[in-house]
Chains A and B, each alone.
Chain A
Amino acid sequence: MFSKYDVIVVGAGHAGCEAAAAAANMRSSVLLITMNMQTIAQMSCNPAMGGIAKGQIVREIDAMGGYSGIVSDKSMIQFRMLNLSKGPAMWSPRSQNDRMLFATTWRDMLEATPNVDFYQDMVRSIIIKNGKAAGVITGLGHEIESKTVVVTSGTFLNGIIHIGEKQLGGGRISEKAATGITEQLVSLGFESDRLKTGTPPRVDGRSLDYSKMEEQKGDEEVTGFSYLETEKPKASQQRSCFITYTTPEVHEILKTGFDRSPMFQGRIEGRGPRYCPSIEDKINRFADKDRHQLFVEPEGWNTVEIYVNGFSTSLPEDVQVKALRTVAGFENCKIFRPGYAIEYDYFPPTQLQSSLETKLIKNLFFAGQINGTTGYEEAACQGLMAGINAHLSVRNEEPLVLKRSEAYIGVLIDDLINKGTDEPYRMFTSRAEFRTLLRQDNADLRLTEMSYRLGLASQERMDKVIQKKEEVNKIKNILNKTTIEPEEINNYFSEIQSSPLTEKQKATKVVLRPNVSLISLINNIYNLKIALQSFSKESIEQAEIQIKYERYIEKELDIVQKMKQLEELTIPDTFNYDGVSALSAEALQKFKKIKPRTLGQASRISGVNPSDVQILMVYMGR
């Protein structure tokens, strides 16, 4: 009934879809298996993509030829570039999306991708031959052969949903949980554990009084995520979000449900994320705060359904409704679906190689929440990398491993496999030591060529990158050659309270002034306007960033170089850590488990301190 595939992807969420698309676009034959064809690429939680650090990841996925950026652009109902008041490394694109349009756009794009087959069934176990993954066995009993398997199980493995005192088996509300894979993998020697996450109630927008809330509009310019041209809404078409707040009264009502709370009564064993606490957790841990912010987010263009961001809860439904109706603007609120908490199995990611292939079973790859992460973006980028590396493994080629200095994706995977995680892992810019290098504006310059050479990023993407590079160089040259006379610009400088020029200065120098933008120079200086009029806005911005932040960028590049030395000291596979009695017990255990490839990697393992690394260095004869 089935032919043999190169890659079988188990699960069709953000990770699974990216994995299938990447492997197929590299010309592997792919089977995408999902428990429900109607729920491909669901946004299980908030209807939004991007945000701080996450927006950078979406740009990276797009630069490499993944689909998340395009899908987000096509389905967005609002766009904002966050952190514009800060340096360019912090600029972070974020969109509100039409939940249903997002899913159908993904499905359309996958259907339009050659080499992707679909099948609806649950995967019960992995076929393993000679220590290698060789296919899957489905709930209906089909054995489907493949050269590699990518598991992206999300919250479905033994998922349990909690609402108040009710407990339901399920991977998402109203959807069945998946069973079998955890038990099989544990019997093979894998370690598994439980994590928890939660989601807020959805309500009827017609029952809300927006006049009591603050409006939050989209940006006046919708730049989007993709480096390619995409259809995006016009600025004026965007839907607004609204902000309201809880009150001490709301908190009191919520507290009446604590005796029935699965969190506080110990029915939930999995650990939840510290940065995405439920509302009951917030009022419990930060008792001195008398209000918490709620974001009222529309779920799409045509639906009245509203997502109450900030009100994630697993309290009983009656308490949820009663508390919500005490919030300003929610007095008459009607609930569509209650909030809930969900617990699920994950496999501590220290069991993975940097390719996302498991250490125990060859040709078996994990991506997304199964690795202990949270967030669509984190899942999608792992799916992309697992898809690429499954394909490369089929071709017997070296895996693609992104460095910490190359991409947030590299930071994420390096953190996961070396540090592991005991709470759902989310990306923050502070996790990246090379934040100034890993900007949203240069993901294409960093990654597209690498992906193009592997046969993933398209010719169109590559051409655009070449063109951007050329334009940026030309602009920088022009700025280097153009001198600005004091009388050309001093009027403007006095307007913006910048100290006047006393003598003529190169444009490159003038751009270095912190409050002077290149665009403002172009608008005020005729020569520049003429010289730069043929260049794209994107290239002009890129040139400006490169000039303005050169000093900082170079500082980071300097550290990259220094780090490289440790990265180049490889530890032999056969190294006997037991012979090194000076190592701390924790370091010894971690080294044996993780088997770092380099001293650099060894130094980043959690629980390993510098003296442990120094000892290794001594023993390696350095």
Chain B
Amino acid sequence: MLGKLSDWNETIVALATPPGIGAIGVIRISGKNTFNIIDELFPSKNLHNQLSHTLHVGLLKYNNEVLDEVVLSLFKNPKSYTGEDVIEISTHGSPFIQEKIINTIISKGARLAKAGEFTQRAFLNGKLDLTQAEAVADLIASNTEASRNTAIKNMRGKFSNQLKELRDELIKFSALIELELDFSQEDVTFADRKQLDNLINVLIKNVNNLMQSFALGNVIKNGVQVAIIGKPNAGKSTLLNALLNEERAIVSEIAGTTRDTIEEVLNIDGVLFRLIDTAGIREHTTDIIESIGVERSINKMNNADVVVYLFDINTITENELIAIEQNFIKQNIQYLLVANKIDEQINVASAKLNTIKNSINISAKSNLHIEELKKELIVATIHGDLKTEDTVVTNARHYEALQKLSVSLQDVWNALQQNVSGDLLALDIRQCLHYLGLITGEITNEDQLGFIFSKFCIGK
């Protein structure tokens, strides 16, 4: 995945802020030739003579043409993000200007950085360890405050601490097994199976907790997929607009206007929601284009973290609603029932409200109870307080290792129940040590022996 050694001698450049129009944009350049290249383009000062960690305002010029008025932030190696010479150029936020500056820098001998290359260099220059580097990648990809908080927490080692505890528990468990094997002739008390049972249960529970937090981690990192479904003309697009506070979907009175799914992003209390407006689900549709849209809707519904089922409170029947609810339950889909148009025929609606206890009653058109719906979305997906100090797994590599760890812990548990002899049990335990080691660093027999010799009097 990474380039050859020679690549590391090259100077790289890239836009460090998201592309598009903004107030300012930052271009980052890193490598041996950073100062040579930018100095040539920045005639007002000799950059080589400036101190690290200083700012310089001036014109960026190429062939006597002014590219932009910029602010330069200078970082001299090794005191920079990558550990190399780095200059960050704050430009005006025009994609045109930015592209021109980057092209100029490339013409001077730099090359465009590959995705993640600044972080890779930081890693290779010893500025970050592997977990930190991964956390940085997460940080860059994070869109919301909650996501940033988790990434920062992982960077500071909260996750590492949790793993260290797990590691110590596993070393203890495996050491107690090894004790029976290598030191069976010694006059020490061996752990009874019940103690081992308890230990392994604690381990399994802790790993599973961490694993479960990955779902939450994913939510924090990638957002919650919310599918809004309902019959044609239930007001799905109107609801989407109400949630987003702007007109995105085409709203019309003709049933079946939304032919495709539309995805929009909504930030509620720091959690990212990806709202999917879907083509209305009708039993039969003769319109071919619309039937493709309906198929996509059903797919989207199955992929969603939560489904908002929107219905017109004035036309729905109780039996219909029960059938729909049972369908969700059967398919194990997380859902919210949302009654729309409660302001149109208040009397009929309030009569029905008594029977539909778990629905949220809104009017998308009149912006009624939209905030309440937002709160319910948070409750339905996060199950608790997001700002809790719980360790959250957000990294897929960590999750995979934990998953394998969990499976092999289960093997150990099974083996314990079958009263398998210790040496064979140890084989399964080694798998566990291996998978945890993928995250925490290798767990060696020295760790086990260290535990044994510190706790038991060994030796004739």
Contacts and interface: CB of A to CB of B under 8 A. Distances in A.
Interface string B176-211: 001011111111000000000000000000000000
Contact of B423 (A86, A584, A621): A86
B181 A52 contact: yes
B4 A621 contact: yes
A211 interface: no
A85 B424 CA distance: 13
A125 interface: no
A428 B182 contact: yes
B422 A90 contact: yes
Contacts of A89: 423
Nearest to B453: A274
Contacts of A430: 178, 181-182, 426, 445, 448-449
B376 interface: no
Contact of B187 (A46, A293, A436): A293
A107 B336 CA distance: 88
Interface string B415-451: 0001111111011001000000110011011101100
Interface stretch (B121-129, B226-234, B242-250): B121-129
Given A435-B427, A611-B130, 14 more contacts: A82-B185, A86-B421, A90-B421, A90-B422, A309-B460, A310-B460, A312-B460, A429-B423, A430-B448, A430-B449, A552-B424, A581-B83, A614-B130, A621-B4
Given A275-B453, A581-B83, A618-B124, A556 B427 contact: yes
Contact of B182 (A53, A277, A312, A584): A53
B181 A83 contact: yes
Interface stretch (A284-292, A478-486, A520-528): A284-292
Contacts of A596: none
Interface in A265-298: 273-277, 282, 285-286, 289, 292-293, 295
A429 B181 contact: yes
A433 B418 CA distance: 23
Given A83-B184, A90-B423, A611-B129, A582 B123 contact: yes
A310 B186 CA distance: 10
A582 B126 contact: yes
B2 interface: yes
B384 interface: no
A276 B124 contact: no
A610 interface: yes
B124 A615 contact: yes
Interface string A83-99: 10111011000000000
A358 interface: no
Interface in A26-54: 46, 51-53
Interface in A139-169: none
A51 B186 CA distance: 12
A589 to B, nearest CB: 14
A509 interface: no
B5 interface: yes
A555 interface: yes
B453 A52 contact: no
A386 to B, nearest CB: 25
B322 interface: no
Contact of B458 (A274, A436, A581): A274
Nearest to B1: A618
Contacts of B419: 514
Contact of B125 (A436, A581, A606): A581
A582 B185 contact: no
Nearest to A294: B460
A419 to B, nearest CB: 8
Interface residues of B, number: 43
B457 interface: yes
Interface string A421-441: 000000011110101100000
A275 B129 contact: no
Contacts of A275: 449, 453, 458-459
Pick from A85, A289, A618 the residue with the most CB of B within 10 Å: A618
28 contacts: A53-B182, A82-B185, A87-B422, A87-B423, A90-B181, A90-B184, A90-B422, A275-B449, A275-B459, A285-B457, A286-B457, A289-B457, A293-B187, A295-B460, A429-B423, A430-B178, A430-B426, A436-B427, A514-B418, A555-B427, A556-B427, A579-B5, A606-B446, A610-B130, A611-B129, A611-B130, A618-B2, A621-B4
Contacts of B183: 52
A429 B422 contact: no
A86 B460 CA distance: 22
Nearest to B178: A430
A421 to B, nearest CB: 10
A603 interface: yes
A582 B125 contact: yes
What is the size category of the interface that chain A forms with chain B?
35 or more
Contact of B457 (A282, A309, A429): A282
Contacts of B178: 428, 430
A583 interface: yes
Interface of A: 46, 51-53, 82-83, 85-87, 89-90, 273-277, 282, 285-286, 289, 292-293, 295, 309-310, 312, 419, 428-431, 433, 435-436, 514, 549, 552, 555-556, 579-584, 603, 606, 609-611, 614-615, 618-619, 621
A621 B266 CA distance: 42
Interface in B121-147: 123-126, 129-130
Nearest to B419: A514
Q: Which 8 A-B pairs have the closest CB atoms?
A: A293-B187, A274-B453, A286-B457, A276-B459, A87-B423, A582-B124, A310-B460, A87-B421
B451 to A, nearest CB: 11
A436 B424 contact: yes
A564 B186 CA distance: 36
A560 to B, nearest CB: 13
A583 B130 CA distance: 12
Nearest to B439: A610
A619 B5 contact: yes
B125 A610 contact: no
Contacts of B457: 277, 282, 285-286, 289, 292
A275 B449 CA distance: 9
A54 B2 CA distance: 45
A46 B185 CA distance: 16
A583 B126 contact: yes
Contacts of B2: 618
A214 B421 CA distance: 28
A615 B441 CA distance: 14
Given A86-B421, A435-B423, A52 B125 contact: no
Q: Which of B422, B445, B449, B459 lies at the interface centre, i.e. has the most chain A CB atoms within 10 A of its CB?
A: B459
Given A275-B459, A556-B427, A618-B2, A610 B129 contact: no
Nearest to A83: B184
B453 A86 contact: no
A432 B437 CA distance: 17
B455 to A, nearest CB: 9
Nearest to B420: A514
Contacts of B449: 274-275, 428, 430
B427 A86 contact: no
Q: Which of B129, B184, B438 is packed against the most chain A CB atoms within 10 Å?
A: B184
Nearest to B174: A430
B446 to A, nearest CB: 8
B388 to A, nearest CB: 30
A83 B179 CA distance: 12
Given A87-B423, A309-B460, A430-B448, A52 B185 contact: yes
Interface in B43-96: 83
B140 to A, nearest CB: 20
Nearest to B180: A86
